[in-house]
Chain A
Amino acid sequence: GAGVSQSPSNKVTEKGKDVELRCDPISGHTALYWYRQSLGQGLEFLIYFQGNSAPDKSGLPSDRFSAERTGGSVSTLTIQRTQQEDSAVYLCASSLDSKNIQYFGAGTRLSVL
């Protein structure tokens, strides 16, 4: 079936605005991850969902960041009161379960002006 789908592919926003990034995982994958990749940096883990379990939020950099996963499928990452340092590519990945290989979406490039 289709791979991991993310939208929008690009988002330009003004400092202080809220943004929502969407991830639609591969059908049947119970695990979903959000990562952030800043220019010249490796991928930084943000948050992980597994089925109906409480998410692992240990990577969220501040309380301006939150994420939810409705119905065990689509996930939304919300960044409130965006700052310029939030500019990065936000990547979503999914896997069959937490032990399996993660497959990445194409990412959302966020630019905060």
Chain B
Amino acid sequence: QKEVEQNSGPLSVPEGAIASLNCTYSDRGSQSFFWYRQYSGKSPELIMSIYSNGDKEDGRFTAQLNKASQYVSLLIRDSQPSDSATYLCAVKDGTASKLTFGTGTRLQVTL
């Protein structure tokens, strides 16, 4: 069974701080990695994708991938109250088309 693990949280950070969200996965064949943001009662919205080891930056968001450690993370700089949501880590291997999701980490950005 391919698994994606996330700490459910809530992760509470003050406004302006860096939020660090972590995800581990069990399938070494995984090749594509995604972070989705989901506001309460809404559908998941893609915020980052990463395919190679290292860092990928997009505005305030940085995704980090370490395939040897089977670990992917999302950093949110200068956290804002509007970043408060559940962040879902999703993984796809080279053969499957479906995404395998973690249960998500709830982030709370406090004033």
Q: Interface of A with B (CB < 8 Å)?
A: 31, 33, 35, 40-45, 48, 50, 56, 59, 91, 98, 101-107
Contact = CB atoms under 8 A, between A and B. Distances in A.
Contact of B4 (A33, A41, A42): A42
Interface of B: 4, 34, 36, 42-46, 49, 88, 90, 97-104
Contact of A91 (B44, B49, B97, B102): B44
20 contacts: A31-B97, A33-B98, A35-B99, A41-B103, A42-B4, A42-B101, A42-B102, A43-B88, A43-B90, A45-B99, A48-B97, A50-B97, A56-B97, A91-B43, A91-B44, A101-B46, A103-B46, A104-B45, A106-B42, A107-B43
A8 to B, nearest CB: 15
Contacts of A41: 103
Contacts of B34: 101
B103 A40 contact: yes
Given A40-B103, A101-B34, A101-B49, A45 B43 contact: no
Contacts of A50: 97
A41 to B, nearest CB: 6
A106 B99 CA distance: 17
Given A43-B44, A45-B98, 8 more contacts: A44-B101, A45-B99, A48-B97, A56-B98, A91-B43, A101-B34, A101-B49, A104-B36
A106 B39 CA distance: 11
Contact of A42 (B43, B88, B97, B98): B88
A105 B36 CA distance: 13
Contacts of A35: 99, 101
Contacts of A105: 43
B35 to A, nearest CB: 12
Q: Which 10 pairs between the two chains have the least Cβ-Cβ distance?
A: A98-B97, A42-B101, A42-B103, A45-B98, A43-B101, A104-B43, A106-B43, A104-B44, A48-B97, A107-B43
Contacts of A40: 103
